[in-house]
Structure 1
């Protein structure tokens, strides 16, 4: 019984452990992305989005045209934009990325995007994927060609460190229960064999008095291994019938013979 219960529990824990790696597996990455369409020439990704999760992040930008990504301190980027309208993307704790259009004026972006204040600067066509690990107070400015709307397909990706939190405990518990199932099964088989015992009981060693009783045909029935004394009925049935005794002479004949013997004895004495 214990072996069966342990085996069922072991299978259940193995199934739970496998489910942790398959159907219940958390995503490999954590993603924050801009959900709304950007209509301004520049998109400022605030530090609250870039530091939403712990660890190093990766900025991924997709567009149909040229892409420029500028990394710098937030107040330096805002000062450089000046009176150019731009969209700022922020994220509150436990919420998705929200966007807000900031319109300081109608000025256009400067023709050159390079500046000595920037911490990093990237240019590309179609897509950009930039690994980074930015501290608080640092933001990212995403620009297209500087005239049309900035790219809207912007994602910040983090690797998910807590992938399978219960996989190890479930698999370990499964192996422990499987071991106990095998152990209980072995103990049960050994106990079953011990209870069965020998198929035939051994004979008891006879004492000297028992052997004498057997020789005289008076062995007690309590002696193990000794055959019981046959009953009178069975003995009479097995033995052949005894011969009949010869008929004895009549009493008068015996008395006459005694008288004749006494007379003959007296005659001999007189002679």
Structure 2
């Protein structure tokens, strides 16, 4: 019997080991699913929709090949609406996915027509395709799309398209060799754009790969179990062999058996004869015993029932569903935090180059409005006045506050507060707050305001960066003061101090600009002017755009531009006035017999409380400098 069991164990062990190894080799499942398509002709842009990339679960791997110049190929992804807005009227090939065949399809799209898509795709390749295959033969989706794109190659070659490389619109971007194989995990509302530099065709081959669960959970247990069973079979075989050898050895005859001892008699007690009691007493005893027994049973039953009732589960009340706003009704933030970090880094690098070379042309790439005006003037002054300090640099990181506008249209506004590193002496510097604007989908963000925060500035509660903030209209009456009137009101305070009609609306606590150039400082400057000259100050709102972004308390952070003119005029014939080193650098004259007019620009950031609030308008930060000077 032991040999039979051993043979059975050997057979079962062999089957288990072979099955386990086969699961890892012959019957091993595929590790990935792959679908690809080719795009021929002079197609400049290829768009892969997020729904295509999510046709299978798992991280997507996008492989592109066949670019005319591998160093200029670009793979980037962004929100689908943003990608199409960036493309504008540019023709592109849209990649789809056919579930029935598991293959990628292509379709040529011409956004300018708006009604029909040029080119052809196989039937069912994409919704809205209006092309039909050739009567002679039904071409594949990629071939038909290639033919379509090839038919328009002559027109496309005449004009160069925009270059997607370096655009602030993308959530992530890969360039050159890094674009050949990219791994991503994007949602359905995000699309991928594949292109070169806009002058050459896009990569001709696009392949998407999805991972597949190729685990074999039974392979290892089968192999281990087979080995264990094999060892058991070996043990049974050896045991059977040992027993078989013992059974074939010599046997010795035993002597006569010993006589058995007599058995001792067993004692059996006599059964007691029970007599049934008779008479009235016996009946009474029975009546007493029965109720007592019933009472015990009922008591035990009662305990059991009570225990069962206590352990019976009770139903949990179902919570009422609260109505949440539909995600489709919420506008997305203009940028994500990683996207903003990348934008700020680019702005910092561009600003550093412009400041180092004092180049207005370089500054125009990333600055606009009041921020550009102040930098251009600083460059002009530094060219004539070597000891003129440069404006504060724009740090690349870390971003301590992100406030994007919640919008899907243009222009878009984004604000950020960046921590500034310590200076050479180890002194802490004030953080820099910047406001950037993107005018169109193809424009990069430009800094419109760049201010240093006040030491005692307290930024109010703001919406999280994942939600974004709303832009408040300049004439909004829901604030203590409309944004478009803040600059003029504050300028009046700098002129008249506490006598200003707006003094009760603004907080003087922590306002260092008021201390530097306020009414008291202006009075001292006038007193220092000789009798041969006069000094007058005027202020007016600057040409910059008033930007207001809502806070959580229904207030707003307002960025505005204020300009002050300082007119030093000669009032006595033959007298002269000194222009000062800074004004002389802009006017080219150290003195004047008529007068000098100097204009100073102030970039201001305020917190404006909601209308009806007891809180006051607070200056959060500012930057200042001379922006113009001329002789009268």
- Cα distance in 1 for partners of 2:93, 2:222 equals 48
2:252 is matched with which residue? 201
- Cα distance in 2 for partners of 1:206, 1:138 equals 98
Distance 1:37 1:165, change over 3 A: farther
2:380 is matched with which residue? none
Deviations 1:144-198 (A, max 9, x none): 23234321222223343323343223213312421331243244234424543x4
2:241 is matched with which residue? 189
Residue 77 of structure 1 pairs with residue 56 of structure 2: no
- Cα distance in 2 for partners of 1:8, 1:159 equals 37
Unaligned runs of 5+ in 2: 113-154, 259-632
TM-score, length basis structure 1: 0.65
1:109 is matched with which residue? 161
- Cα distance in 2 for partners of 1:90, 1:173 equals 47
- Report the CA distance between 1:113 and its aligned residue: 4.2
DSSP 3-state at the match of 1:151: coil
Deviations 1:239-264 (A, max 9, x none): xxxxxxxxxxxxxxxxxxxxxxxxxx
Residue 158 of structure 1 pairs with residue 210 of structure 2: yes
Aligned 1:115-194 pairs, distance under 5 A: 115-125=167-177, 128-193=180-245
- Report the CA distance between 1:92 and its aligned residue: 4.0
Distance 1:16 1:64, change over 3 A: farther
DSSP 3-state at the match of 1:84: coil
- Cα distance in 1 for partners of 2:14, 2:56 equals 36
8 A contact 1:56–1:132 mirrored in 2: yes
DSSP 3-state at the match of 1:87: strand
- Report the CA distance between 1:60 and its aligned residue: 2.1
Unaligned runs of 5+ in 1: 208-271
8 A contact 1:41–1:149 mirrored in 2: yes
- Cα distance in 2 for partners of 1:153, 1:46 equals 16
Q: Aligned pair count?
A: 205
- Cα distance in 2 for partners of 1:115, 1:145 equals 12
- More displaced stretch, 37-46 vs 109-118: 109-118
2:358 is matched with which residue? none
Provide the aligned C-alpha RMSD in A. Answer: 2.8
Higher normalized contact order (CA 8 Å, seq sep 6+, divided by chain length)? 1
Residue 28 of structure 1 pairs with residue 40 of structure 2: no
